[in-house]
Structure 1
């Protein structure tokens, strides 16, 4: 029988093999198809799964906020995930997923939890442009490349912004600080699979005066990097004349940020390009993984000022 430490070590090793574990759950019947679909969230985001406790309603809460729950002395907001996704639970809201995301803790009410599956990120395909209103970042093929059994991987960033909207702008140029000068002709190569995250990153880079090239997956960023390097070589230049820094999320379809970073740092053409990881997967364990793959900096989503500081620091090391 596996010990708890062995299970932890196994999950830690997933980051070195472009794999993830996905918690599968159901929200109820879809309003359009009248059937219950599978949804997924990265196990690294899950702190705890508990039966539905008593919830205290909070006056004036946003539409999809059910209230708060007192979990061992911590007051945690509870979000009605089926309501946001347009689903109707058949048996009610029975389970709470306690999640840690972007330096915060919140609970998602769901109908049922199905399973935990281990997948290769190559089984996870971008859902960009689908009809999910930006709430689904990707589709996971649960049984391999030829599978028609799919799970929708939710964009937690977008969901939290909808459920708990902020009155403050995500990026205030006045707080970003002065513009940053980089080598003429170079850009920041950025990768993130979340629509809302890309928008905020773009606003932050623009406020810093940094030109950028935005990608939706780690694989797209890796392909771009190789193409840019080949073109620069044809012009008698190097990739350093075109790319100043790589900014990457961790959770992305096809190739995750750990694998992208490792590929960059193990390739002599790219190894000296600074890599900053920008992720909602917070905590000391994930920060240790970041160091292991050779990233130059790690910053938790999303505080624009913190991202700006991390980029300035990383760029200063090479300029």
Structure 2
């Protein structure tokens, strides 16, 4: 498995082409789950764990790996299934989300698959574990559930959406609220929507939410068809990089090639590698990049855009 994860450069070429690679694995049963390979640093056999007092119930302990100490999370328990009973033969997936490293305990690791985002579909509404899913897909006639790791981590470490007083511009927030300023957000994570919405309410900004890039593009086109001035209706689009059916890079590309939308202010907001995403920002023509989740940085960027429009 380590050989499959060696070449980061090769994997990053898929992003921006509306493609991705998924690591397939099982937990305590037969159901197959997946995580985006780009967020995975390595897969190793479960190392010795050290228990911590008063730890969260799904955190099995900590381990030392490559000169750093990381928390190790029982992924099965974290999404509401029974904890992994026998971890001696399991695996640990080491991931980086939102600038932090964590390990996830899983059962057997299957393989890596290369897919087009168009075959990655939103989870069906009303499904029992949809709260912990960003998407589903079908591989070899089996349903594969793509897990929302941001949601898992938010349960363990509640996120803070407060904006620092020295960052918040109260006068600007009052102007934005009076003008009923709105932005469009495309993200497949319910958690990410909540984070942004709760932060931007301090800035007097309303958020229109959609679950993926295709929904965002369709909504923009519908507004145009209805005669709505998109640039007056929303002052910014915040898009995740990875989403079912159409990723954020492809969405930005489609916006830039449409003469009616090409000047829309677009910001990429993602938990993926910041250095890589800056290169993609330049390639597809985004106006900015934000790493998840930093309320003050988000507020700074949104307020900067508001000052340009309102002052």
Q: Same fold (TM over 0.5)?
A: yes
1:152 aligns with 2:149: no
Q: Distance in 1 between matches of 2:84 and 2:92?
A: 14
Structure 1: 5+ residue stretches without partners? 30-35
- Given the alignment, which residue of 205, 225, 234 partners 1:230? 225
1:188 aligns with 2:179: no
Paired residues in the alignment total: 299
1:45-99 superposed Cα distances (whole Å, 9 cap, x missing partner): 0011111111111111010011111012200110011222304547535111110
Deviation at 1:141, TM superposition (A): 2.1
- Given the alignment, which residue of 89, 110, 113 partners 2:109? 113
Deviation at 1:239, TM superposition (A): 2.4
* Residue 206 of structure 1: aligned partner: 201
1:73 aligns with 2:67: yes
- Given the alignment, which residue of 27, 40, 47 partners 1:53? 47
- What's the TM-score, normalizing by structure 2? 0.88
Deviation at 1:216, TM superposition (A): 1.1
| CA 1:44–1:131: 2 relative to 1, 3 Å | same
Q: Which runs of 4+ in 1 moved over 3 A?
A: 6-10, 87-93, 173-176, 179-186, 314-319
Pairing 1:1-319 to 2, within 5 Å after superposition: 7-29=7-29, 36-85=30-79, 86-87=81-82, 89=84, 92=87, 94-127=90-123, 128-132=125-129, 134-143=131-140, 148-162=141-155, 164-166=156-158, 170-172=160-162, 175=165, 177=168, 178=170, 179-180=172-173, 181=175, 184=179, 187-232=182-227, 238-316=229-307
Is the Cα–Cα contact under 8 Å of residues 121 and 256 in structure 1 kept in the other structure? yes
Deviation at 1:107, TM superposition (A): 0.4
1:14-61 superposed Cα distances (whole Å, 9 cap, x missing partner): 1232111001111012xxxxxx11000001100111111111111110
Is the Cα–Cα contact under 8 Å of residues 74 and 83 in structure 2 kept in the other structure? no
How much is the aligned-residue C-alpha RMSD, in angstroms?
A: 2.4
Deviation at 1:194, TM superposition (A): 1.1
Is the Cα–Cα contact under 8 Å of residues 25 and 40 in structure 1 kept in the other structure? yes
Deviation at 1:129, TM superposition (A): 3.4
Deviation at 1:185, TM superposition (A): 6.5
Q: Distance in 1 between matches of 2:305 and 2:20?
A: 28
